[in-house]
Structure 1
Amino acid sequence: MAERLHVIDDDDGLREALAFLLEVNGIDARFYESGDAFLAALPVEEGCLLTDVRMPGLTGLELVRELKARGLEMPVVVMTGHGDVPLAVEAMKAGVVDFIEKPFGDDVLIDAIRAAFERLNDRSEPEESRLAAQARLAPLSRRERDVLAGVVEGKLNKVIAYDLEISPRTVEIYRANLMSKTGARNVAELMRIALAAGL
């Protein structure tokens, strides 16, 4: 990868560990201790962003929104030790490429970063992306689409169950079907597909 990865995390130990991991995998990275430090360094080389969510000063999601407000479109991977569905939904709606929870395996992180670089280099039309996402959702039943709509809104299983007048266990089954039928590896990817399809 010729482009640069910009890594933002307030944890010195994690930045050191990431520096080693990224170097071993041939990823050129620059490190920042906060979102404010990254903004102060602008303009930076074209690339992707890997950021923690909860940090002093700007949070990772606030940083993503600030970059968009400035017209800077960088593929972003968000990492957090405090993952939950509403936070993942908020991150996906803010436009992040992936949302990974700490602790994560090295391969999970490297795959997410590579996906971000693919997004950076993907010059396909938005219409193509929308059609591809819609094709992945085509096999879903009406009820599975109802459950997906609840997931996109960030609702918990029990709330989706209440809204649809089904049991929480049935919602879990539908969610498993959603993952299987769309080929999504995780909730973040499922959210990306749904949002790209216009849901």
Structure 2
Amino acid sequence: MRWRNLRPRPARTVVFAAWTAEEKGLLGSERYAAKPIYPLERTARTLNLDPQLALPAARTIELIGGGRTSVEADLARIAATRGLRVVPEPSPEAAWYFRSDHYPFARRGVPTVAFRIGRDLRVGGSARGAPIVTAYNRDCYRQPCDQFDDRWTFAGAAQEADVAYRLRREVADASSWPGWNPGSEYSAGRDATAAARSADGGQSQSPRR
């Protein structure tokens, strides 16, 4: 079978990465961030999908660690075109922003955005979705039953992937550089490498997990 490329090649290189040893201290993503294939100062943005929840179709996307980068406005706009609202993560005290594989990039100044499909489901709302997530976290997260189940539905994961693709494609086709919001604790690291981005005409790499 001969495949046709239905869209032009993106202007920027896109790197897809599946990190190892996250649970042992973000070792895989930390290793890449310390010795990247492409310079981090010319990496436009990191998009992290963790985890992909086995949920039915939803009405929301949960933004992890919101309020930090300009990419969040783009996420909200793109999600809205897919019939989804972006809402804050329900348990910020769990500190997911600092425990997932985008964090080694964020602390080195690369703008990052992390999100997951929400638990406000199209059929049944939060009253149906929240117990699914709660039961999984209580009974299976990091336990023997934390394995594939052929009864799962991937409608929610497909929504998440659709938004991620559109967000990634938009950044990959752009010449502008995403940034941190004023006052962000990570903006100084990005500001220090501004000269490297102004010198290359906007061409960059955009890693994505």
Question: What range is the shorter-chain TM-score in?
Answer: 0.3 to 0.5
Relative contact order, CA 8 A, sep 6+: which one is greater? 2
Q: TM-score, normalised by structure 2?
A: 0.31
Q: TM-score, normalised by structure 1?
A: 0.32
Q: Which has the higher helix share?
A: 1
